[in-house]
């Protein structure tokens, strides 16, 4: 069963935060870890045992107080967002095809010579021996 464990921990610097995150992330069943330095909280979401989370936190050198243990908050409903997305017209991405593009076709036609001589037989004036 997925649950959310919130601990009150003194996180005074980035080094402490990194050490704490490393210690707790090694636990099996941890899905998400949030360390809020301003509030001084560590939130762990997943199947990890709360007791093991507290033990790992204390082994990292931090005193941990349990704020709450319970089910994770429900994900926010996205029905309103889906409706606004459905109302937007779909923009089709066009694949550039030089054969159908009028500008490319113009460039292609301009680069071709108007008349091309036909060389079926070798010319008598030119010979390589």
Residue 59 belongs to domain with CATH number: 3.30.70.100
- Coil/strand/helix, residue 44: strand
Number of domains in the chain: 1
Mean pLDDT of 52-69: 89
Q: Domain range spanning residue 61?
A: 3-70
Q: What is the pLDDT of residues 77-96, one digit of tens each?
A: 765 555 555 555 555 555 65
Cα distance from N-terminal residue to C-terminal residue, the chain: 90
**Lookup result for tokens 């459905």:** 86
Whether residue 51 is contained in a domain is answered as yes
pLDDT of residue 4: 92
Query: Does the pTM exceed 0.85?
Result: no
Instruction: Note the residue count of the chain.
Output: 129
pLDDT band at residue 61 using 50, 70 and 90 as cut-offs: confident
């Amino acid at each position: 069963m997925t649950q959310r464990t919130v601990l009150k921990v003194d996180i005074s610097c980035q080094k402490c935060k990194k050490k704490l995150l490393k210690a707790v992330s090694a636990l099996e069943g941890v899905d998400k870890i949030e360390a809020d330095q301003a509030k001084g909280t560590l939130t762990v979401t997943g199947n990890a045992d709360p007791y093991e989370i507290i033990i790992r936190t204390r082994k990292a050198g931090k005193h941990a107080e349990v704020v709450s243990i319970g089910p994770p908050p429900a994900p926010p409903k996205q029905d309103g967002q889906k409706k606004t997305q459905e109302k937007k017209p779909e923009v089709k991405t066009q694949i550039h095809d030089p054969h159908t593009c009028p500008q490319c076709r113009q460039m292609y036609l301009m680069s071709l010579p108007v008349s091309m001589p036909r060389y079926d037989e070798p010319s008598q004036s030119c010979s390589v021996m």
